[in-house]
């Protein structure tokens, strides 16, 4: 992509509010824009509103109570959700939440098949998606729930990539991974030429993948800027129950 040219907004969030049925106010006026090709990390303490925000991007949480969300200029409302879900895919924290077919290949094929893709083209999409996440061909006929947790994470990402999305959204992608699987995940994400929004507590991952980081707390954006500068601010981190990453403390 020509970095000298202005980039189109992939995600536009304007004054977004959301309150759960029990009265918990999760989002209190979130405004955020992500440009085409950007990789942005979303950080904050537990209960900051990160997952709630992600679930608004493709209508996983039905109904916007206040404000607006646009994906590639389309409002995230019922009439547009089918097209938005062709463009934006969410990988949930627990891969078991999106793996439900008898085999790995069938899980990866599910999305494009529902879009009407069949035959050789469907096989191409499945093979390409599995290759991009590093899943060995011999695993394609395995039962997804018999895989290791790291392999399940890879397959969960492949189910989204098979849809050929332009925006990849991940909720805590490195949680519960051993060091080798975490490193494989980071290298995989670094290889993608996609717009990405990653909600994470893994601040070292944020430093490696995302030039920009947005800090949420109490359902509001409290900081938005360069990842290295934002995460190196000890007062800011402490004020929001976070720590400066060890790699920055050792410099």
Q: Which residues pair with 9 in a beta bridge?
A: 35
pLDDT of the residue at 65? 83
Q: With CA atoms as reference, report the closest residue to 162 among 201, 131, 205.
A: 131
List residues bridging with 33 in a β-sheet.
12
Round the CA-based radius of gyration of the chain to a whole number and report it: 18
The per-residue pLDDT string of the chain (251 residues; one tens digit each, 9 = 90 and over) reads: 444 455 789 999 999 999 998 988 999 999 999 999 999 999 999 999 999 999 999 888 877 788 999 999 999 988 999 999 999 999 999 999 999 999 999 999 999 999 899 999 999 999 999 999 999 889 999 998 899 999 999 999 999 999 999 999 999 999 999 999 999 999 999 999 999 999 999 999 999 999 999 999 999 999 999 999 999 999 999 999 999 999 999 87
pLDDT score recorded for residue 5? 58
Q: What are phi and psi of 161, to 5 degrees?
A: -65, -30
pTM value is 0.93
pLDDT at 6: 58
The pLDDT of residue 40:
98
Spell out the long-range contacts of 116-125 with Cβ–Cβ below 8 A and sequence spacing 24 or more: 125/162, 125/164
Residue 189 vs residues 22, 197, 213: alpha-carbon distances, Å: 36, 11, 16
Gap between the Cα atoms of 160 and 47, Å rounded: 26
Neighbours of 110 (CB within 10 A): 17
Domain 9-249 has CATH 1.10.10.10: no
CA distance 98 to 158: 11
* Rounded Cα gap, residues 56 and 16, in angstroms: 9
């Amino acid at each position: 992509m020509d970095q000298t040219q202005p980039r189109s907004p992939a995600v536009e969030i304007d004054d977004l509010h959301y309150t759960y049925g029990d009265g918990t106010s999760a989002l209190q006026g979130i405004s955020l824009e992500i440009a085409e090709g950007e990789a942005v990390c979303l950080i904050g303490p537990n209960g900051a509103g990160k997952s709630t925000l992600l679930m608004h991007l493709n209508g996983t949480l039905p109904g916007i109570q206040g404000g607006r969300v646009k994906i590639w200029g389309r409002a995230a409302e019922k009439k547009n959700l089918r097209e938005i879900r062709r463009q934006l895919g969410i990988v949930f924290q627990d891969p078991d939440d999106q793996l439900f077919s008898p085999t790995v290949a069938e899980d990866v094929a599910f999305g494009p098949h529902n879009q009407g893709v069949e035959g050789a083209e469907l096989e191409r999409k499945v093979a390409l998606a599995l290759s991009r996440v590093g899943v060995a061909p011999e695993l394609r006929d395995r039962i997804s729930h018999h895989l290791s947790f790291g392999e399940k994470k890879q397959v969960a990402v492949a189910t989204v990539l098979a849809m050929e999305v332009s925006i990849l959204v991940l909720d805590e992608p490195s949680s519960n991974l051993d060091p080798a699987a975490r490193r494989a995940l980071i290298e995989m994400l670094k290889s993608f030429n996609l717009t990405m929004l990653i909600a994470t507590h893994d601040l070292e991952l944020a430093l490696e993948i995302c030039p920009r980081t947005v800090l949420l707390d109490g359902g509001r954006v409290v900081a938005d800027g360069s990842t290295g500068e934002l995460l190196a601010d000890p007062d800011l981190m402490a004020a929001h129950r976070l720590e400066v990453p060890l790699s920055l403390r050792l410099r």
